[in-house]
Amino acid sequence: MSTTASIQQHLMKARILECMKVHVRVTPNARHERFEQVGEDQFAIALRERPEKNEANARVQRLLSEHFNVPRTSVKFLTGQRSRKKVFEVVQ
């Protein structure tokens, strides 16, 4: 194996990141904001934001990034754009 090939292989291994799917049950337009972990990868979140103009989804993304201590861009929306049950992917 050449030196260049071994360096490329090492770089590919270093880029492997840990991904986690997170299931969230959202209650928008709540009186009080609440963030509760109900399982290993399940959360119940009550938000003051309304479910309009993607405000609630953006707030959930911010809360998850703070909880997992990752940048907001590391929390990706997968499913449930217009549903209360949503799935996010968190890359650490």
Rounded-to-integer distance, Cα 62 and Cα 8, Å? 34
The single-letter DSSP state of residue 74 is: G
Checking DSSP bridges between strand 34-37 and strand 42-46, what pairing results, if any?
antiparallel
Global pTM?
A: 0.79
Mean pLDDT of the chain: 87
- For residue 49 the two structure tokens come to 């934001």
- Where along the chain do its domains lie? 17-91
What contacts 3, CB < 8 A, 6 or more positions away? none
In this prediction, residue 15 carries a pLDDT of 52
- What tokens appear for 69 in the block? 């201590």
pLDDT (tens digit, 9 = 90+) per residue, 31-53?
A: 999 999 999 999 999 999 998 88
Domain 17-91 listed as CATH 3.30.1200.10: yes
